[in-house]
């Protein structure tokens, strides 16, 4: 008997895993990581060819000019969007930004101490997980360097999981509010006069 996961099942498992990570880290750390992730995605969507041009053409020319003192008289070659160098530089930059967001959030924010802090961390964890998976599948499928048989999430998949994600968010909000109110009231234990 062989059991193979479909792309929808893999997406759902990965989003749940990011939600668990968000629960462990807390909402403050996850919001900072999410900000780094979304900023990186926006930067790389609009500047991935420019980044590859800088890393593979302009930076080596500048280093050669600084070390030897000679400028290359030939015009700089241009990198197109289908060049494998774009996929490599985009992937490396994306991983660096994700790691940087994780390190900054761990250094700047304290560890989540209360249950509501942890529960609120599930929401940005799920959002960042979905953003990371969507960006990587789109970036790798557009590249000629990698041949993936994984399709990026389409509108039907987003629509079918949108209700599930919404229900998870509603349950998280209810649990966080119950947890916060139980803590304020003393957990239901009667106080002695």
| Lowest-pLDDT range of 57-61, 70-74, 120-124 | 70-74
pLDDT at 49: 80
In the block, residue with structure tokens 């989540």: 112
The pLDDT-based confidence of 24 (bands split at 50, 70, 90) is very high
Sign of the torsion formed by the C-alpha atoms of 17, 23, 28 and 31: positive
The pLDDT-based confidence of 21 (bands split at 50, 70, 90) is very high
The residue that leads in pLDDT, 111 or 5, is 111
Asked whether the predicted pLDDT for residue 70 surpasses 90, the reply is no
pLDDT digits (tens, 9 = 90+) for 112-170: 888 888 888 888 998 888 888 878 777 766 666 655 555 555 555 655 666 777 788 88
Express as a percent the part of the chain with pLDDT over 70: 78
Nearest to 30 by CA among 140, 121, 164, 116: 121
pLDDT at 148: 53
Mean pLDDT of 55-72: 82
Domain boundaries of the chain, sorted by first residue: 7-184
C-alpha 122/C-alpha 17 separation (Å) is 10
Report the SS3 class of residue 157.
Answer: helix
pLDDT digits (tens, 9 = 90+) for 74-83: 776 777 767 7
What is the model's pTM? 0.73
């Amino acid at each position: 008997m062989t059991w193979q996961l479909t792309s929808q099942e893999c997406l759902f498992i990965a989003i749940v895993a990011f939600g668990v990570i968000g629960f462990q880290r807390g909402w403050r750390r996850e919001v900072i990581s999410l900000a780094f992730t979304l900023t990186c995605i926006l930067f790389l969507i609009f500047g991935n060819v420019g980044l590859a041009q800088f890393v593979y053409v302009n930076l080596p020319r500048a280093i050669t000019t600084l070390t030897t003192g000679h400028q290359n008289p030939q015009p700089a070659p241009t990198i197109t969007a289908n060049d494998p160098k774009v996929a490599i530089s985009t992937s490396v930059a994306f991983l660096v930004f994700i790691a940087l967001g994780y390190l900054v959030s761990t250094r700047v924010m304290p560890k989540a101490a209360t249950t509501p802090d942890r529960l609120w961390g599930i929401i940005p964890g799920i959002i960042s997980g979905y953003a990371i998976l969507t960006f990587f599948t789109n970036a790798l499928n557009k590249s000629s360097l990698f041949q993936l048989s994984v399709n990026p999430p389409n509108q039907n998949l987003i629509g079918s999981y949108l209700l599930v994600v919404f229900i998870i968010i509603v349950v998280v909000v209810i649990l966080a509010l119950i947890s916060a109110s139980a803590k304020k009231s003393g957990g239901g234990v009667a106080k002695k006069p």
